Amino acid sequence: MNTSDLAQKILDRDRRALSRAITLVESSRADHRVQATALLDELRGQSGSAIRIGLSGTPGVGKSTFIESFGMMLTGQGLRVAVLAVDPSSSRSGGSILGDKTRMDRLSRDKNAFIRPSPSRSHLGGVARRTREAIELCEAAGFDVILIETVGVGQSETVVAEMSDLFILLMAPAGGDELQGVKRGIMEMADIILVNKADGDLKNAAIRTCADYAGALRLLRKRTQDPDGFPKAMPVSALEENGLQTAWDEMTELSEWRKDNGHFTSRRAAQQRYWFEEEVRQSLLAQLDHGDAKTSLKRLGDQVAAGDLSVSKAAATMLKALKT
């Protein structure tokens, strides 16, 4: 199937074509990259209307349960929801479990939902390198809401914030020292903090934790892209499906305010510039895996490991060789 036919099928909301297209953009083969670039060019201008929601949180906080309950609520309102769930890849084998569809059984069977697990392949931030392109494909396929779930490690919050309109941080109830485990940078990026598991014996703890986060957020410097009251912390229960509609109302309110005040468009433009620069960086790094550059890298690396050459001098030599 040529790229024009594939593009048309995506615009016609063919789910199989969408899956095939995402597989294409995730491929590292040179010929596939050429086809993927051509496909994205065909679809340029056909995306941009969906709301992109980045979701992060530590393992065990209930991200999959929240996404399933939240997604089912949205599809019940007639919205089409795409979930791009990034699973961590093994640093040894390179493999991933990709079990998100198993954990979201109800949502995976909903005709208005699309779940695509992707391996991170050790990309910095726990976000697959081509997740941004997958977002564009999902938008072209007519999805109204795109949820980008990260593995919740290290720099994932920074990376997902550069490809989403709203960044949601999902936290679990805790007692006393819960704020000690949250870095200030993550708090500053979050648009809304949702304290999950606000049910049963943990309900009171969740409410207290929410109040603690709300107090911490008030101490942060106010951002120009936020209306009064944001960022904010809210309790939710994905298990009992409480607070989900309120959370969605807050998300849409913030998104609409940013659109009305010009922040939405300017943010997406800044994100496009960021990913252009990132693509250049990654392409330059890829050159180190081929031909003379790969041979030089190994030779210099061996000299550094043997103590015959300093790291700084070896790096300077490598960079000089790449320029010639």
Share of the chain above pLDDT 70, in %: 85
Q: Which among 176, 249, 149 has a CA at the least distance from the CA of 232?
A: 249
Least confident stretch, 41-50, 59-68, 125-134, 185-194: 125-134
Q: Check residues 199 and 218 and name the one with the higher pLDDT.
A: 199
pTM of this structure: 0.85
- Which of 90-94, 208-212, 220-224, 310-314 has the highest mean predicted lDDT (pLDDT)? 310-314
Q: Say if residues 81 and 114 touch (Cβ distance below 8 Å).
A: yes
pLDDT at 312 over 80: yes
Mean pLDDT of 106-119: 89
Confidence class for position 151, pLDDT limits 50, 70, 90: low
CATH architecture of 1-45: Up-down Bundle (1.20)
Please tell me the CATH code under which domain 47-261 is placed: 3.40.50.300
51 torsion bin: left (phi>0), alpha (psi -120 to 50), beta (else): beta
Encoding tokens for residue 17? 């074509």
pLDDT at position 71, please?
96
pLDDT at position 87, please?
63
Confidence class for position 91, pLDDT limits 50, 70, 90: very low
DSSP-derived secondary structure letter, 289: G
pLDDT at 260 over 50: yes
pLDDT at position 278, please?
85
pLDDT at position 182, please?
59
Mean pLDDT (the chain, rounded): 84
Q: Check residues 151 and 240 and name the one with the higher pLDDT.
A: 240
Residue with tokens 């998100």, as numbered in its chain: 100
pLDDT at position 245, please?
97
Mean pLDDT of 241-246: 96
Mean pLDDT of 76-100: 65
Residues 6+ apart with CB under 8 A from 117: 85, 86, 87, 96, 98, 99, 100, 101
